Amino acid sequence: MKLMRRIARMQSWVGFFLAMLSLGLAAVAFAADCNEAASLAREAAKMASRNSSGAQSRLEKAEMLCPRSAALSFNLAMVYYDRGLLSEARSQLEKTLKKDPNHTDALNNLAYLMITDGEGDQARALQLAQRAVTLEPNNRSYRDTLAKAQVPKYPAILNMQVNLADANGNKVLEAGESGSLQVTVTNTGKGEGQNVQISPEAESRIPGLRLAGAQTLSSIGPGQSRTIDFSITTEEAELTNDTLTIRVNAQEQNGFAPDPMLITMTTKAYDPPKLTVADIGIADQSENGQIEPMEIVEITARIFNSGRGDARGVTARVIIGKDVFPAGDTQTEFTIGSLPAGQYHDITFAVFASKKATDIPISIALTEERSKHNAEQKLDLAFNRPEKKSPQKIVLSADLPLNSAPWQVAAPGLSVDVDIPPKTGQVKPDAVAVVIGNKDYAHQGVPQVEFAIRDASVIRQYLIDTLGFADHNIIFQQNATKTDFLKIFGDKDDYRGELYSRTRKGKSDVFIFYSGHGAPDTITKRVFLLPAEADPSSIKFTAYSLDLLYANLNRLGEEKDIRSLTMVFDACFSGMSNDGAAVVSDASSIGIRPKLPVLALPNTAIITSSSDDQISSWYREKRHGLFTYFFLKGIKNTVAQGKPVTLGDIRASLTDVDSVNDYAYRLYKREQTPTIIGDLGMVLVEKK
């Protein structure tokens, strides 16, 4: 029988009808109602050729009596179709498939009805026809229906979007890391997209990289989007530093393929982690900073990853030797987990030594997910020798900044040219610095300053390695609160804060660096540094006034007879953030205005990242403030030339044609002109 066309010979239809009825009812429990339904169906078959409406009536009653029979539903659909009731026929075929999803004749006939209907669902018709052929691949009628379903009535307009992602989200595919290529195809046309094959290929061979092969979307209906993920795997030992460029090609059965796409990502060769115990500190009962027999001592060890690669699954186990014992229920095994490059984790445990002990044999075994990175290190401890007295005083031998918050460094494996300070051998034992990086702001309306902590961390290392400041003379604050500002710089009634206490009369150079938000108070027109919890609607009460800072520094400078004062601000004071959003609603455009009392001090320099109402921008590629990056670059380049670094050199670096203002325009289409105030001959770094 030719499916879903008007039947020429009713006898053939009746024979098919009875055969299908027999097959269908065989699967139904023959209760009395289904027996009666079978009788009605036979009557319908006999009268179908002369009285189709009577056959319809009997089949409808039969279906009501035996509702689980897919055969009754299908044959009723056939009667509807024969009588020209196409909508009712479609409905009955849908009902048939609900009862029996693998009813091949229903699949095929419903597909045919949809194909011949100008407004039919062509995408569904194709799916139904494909399923019928899958179930009965040798049925010629089914194959004919499938061929008709594959003929487009309208064009498919296919567009492709491609995204390349790595597991840790840093946009670099690192050795041993997995990734994925996500391809989304959208059909904005009226026609069906059929058998859309997506084929990603790397433009060049990269050792150690595997990209999944082609995949096919069987169909994409009008208005639909379909997404395919292609896995990317890398071999830890083989991947090289390179640029992965993937070309994504597509083909479509009827020539409606989307245009090819190119996407790139950097690949990075394997960098191993290196686990060490960077330093230790003790808290002893007698508080004399020494370890003595029979005394319980709390030991803090700083576990540091000094390698360029991230450590995974890190654990630390304290190994205690002869005549030394763990105190009480102290913990001796620690699960650290992941430890990114350049970061640390502190562990604390307590021990005591017996009177028989002659030394303190304590080691720490460090294990990593990959055993080749395991390490064991003996702690440098001894009896009756001054040790670092508390964990807060730990100083990393690996030049790791100290702070209660983790040290933030560059993303794993990505080097930035200014991040490693030049070592000059310069020593300024009495110099004092305040370094503040305010990245995170508690108030919902104040955006992050993305690279503020990173700027501050690198500046701190320059102070130590290049300018010769002693580590313990650097006041380093991340996300400083107003209380922190008051504690360091004092208030309007008393300027003698922590900075004052550390400054030695006639001997100290003072250096101040701040990266974070600045903003004006719209009523007083004064400008402020924004502490981490500042409320932008109440600037004068919750922020720290720049006028107060200058006034207190002037009083400190005069009383302490400081040798020099350098202030560096990577902040704009216009009330705007890097993306142009207002930090302070309705903020006036107020530029930073240094006060004359500070300028009256000898050897004073004030360096700011922007002028007037300009915005201080970020340099995302280098993961620094734009100004801070070129400030550091100027120092590093001048030192490399074997010259002393003067304020004039800094100005030349910051105002060069290929520097801050030029890059601000390239990156953001806006101006940013740093300001430099002071004696240009003032020396910041002596000749190496």
Q: What is the CATH number of the domain that holds 133?
A: 1.25.40.10
Q: Based on the domain organization, do 382 and 508 belong to the same domain? A: no
Q: Based on the domain organization, do 464 and 581 belong to the same domain? A: yes
Q: Based on the domain organization, do 217 and 303 belong to the same domain? A: no
What's the pLDDT band for 268 if we cut at 50, 70, 90? confident
Give me the pLDDT at residue 414, please: 29
In a domain, 356, yes or no: yes
Q: How far apart are CA 458 and CA 625, in angstroms?
A: 11
- CB 364, CB 379: distance < 8 Å: yes
Q: What's the average model confidence in pLDDT over 180-194?
A: 92
- The CA-CA-CA angle for residues 526, 530, 534, to 5°, reads 110
Domain end position, chosen among 118, 149, 180? 149
Domain end position, chosen among 242, 268, 294? 268
Q: How far apart are CA 16 and CA 81, in angstroms?
A: 15
What's the pLDDT band for 47 if we cut at 50, 70, 90? confident
In a domain, 560, yes or no: yes
Q: Could you give phi then psi for residue 80, rounded to 5 degrees?
A: -60, -45
331: exposed, middle or buried (Cβ count in 10 Å: 0-12, 13-18, 19+):
exposed
Domain end position, chosen among 268, 302, 337? 268
Q: Based on the domain organization, do 237 and 164 belong to the same domain? A: yes
What's the pLDDT band for 289 if we cut at 50, 70, 90? low
- CB 245, CB 189: distance < 8 Å: no
For strands 645-646 and 683-685, give the pairing: antiparallel
In a domain, 665, yes or no: no
Q: Based on the domain organization, do 503 and 595 belong to the same domain? A: yes
What's the pLDDT band for 598 if we cut at 50, 70, 90? low
Evaluated on CA atoms 419, 420, 423, 427, the torsion sign reads positive
Q: Say yes or no to pLDDT of 663 above 60.
A: yes
- CB 623, CB 454: distance < 8 Å: yes
Q: Based on the domain organization, do 91 and 209 belong to the same domain? A: no
Q: Based on the domain organization, do 504 and 602 belong to the same domain? A: yes
Give the C-alpha distances (Å, rounded to integers) separating 523 from 157, 520, 588.
Answer: 57, 9, 9
Tell me the residue range of the domain where 333 lies: 275-393
Give me the pLDDT at residue 454, please: 84
Q: How far apart are CA 424 and CA 419, in angstroms?
A: 15
In a domain, 666, yes or no: no
Give me the pLDDT at residue 523, please: 76
What's the pLDDT band for 287 if we cut at 50, 70, 90? low
Q: Based on the domain organization, do 254 and 162 belong to the same domain? A: yes
The CATH number for 458's domain is 3.40.50.1460
Q: Based on the domain organization, do 515 and 556 belong to the same domain? A: yes
Give me the pLDDT at residue 33, please: 84
Q: What's the average model confidence in pLDDT over 138-159?
A: 88
- CB 681, CB 646: distance < 8 Å: yes
Q: Residue 401, CB half-sphere, CA atoms under 13 Å: how many?
A: 28
The CATH number for 361's domain is 2.60.40.10
16 vs 181 pLDDT, higher one? 181
Q: How many domains, in total, are found in the chain?
A: 4
In a domain, 421, yes or no: no
Close Cβ partners of 19 (under 8 Å, ≥ 6 residues apart): none
Q: Based on the domain organization, do 258 and 173 belong to the same domain? A: yes
Q: Based on the domain organization, do 558 and 505 belong to the same domain? A: yes
Span 350-388, pLDDT tens digits:
999 998 888 899 999 999 998 989 999 998 888 765 444
Q: What's the average model confidence in pLDDT over 311-327?
A: 94
In a domain, 415, yes or no: no
What's the pLDDT band for 587 if we cut at 50, 70, 90? very low
Least confident of 73-82, 168-177, 567-576: 567-576
Q: Based on the domain organization, do 599 and 545 belong to the same domain? A: yes
Amino acid in position 270: Y
93 vs 280 pLDDT, higher one? 93
In a domain, 655, yes or no: no
In a domain, 333, yes or no: yes
Span 530-553, pLDDT tens digits:
999 998 888 889 999 998 999 999
- The whole-chain average pLDDT of the chain stands at 83
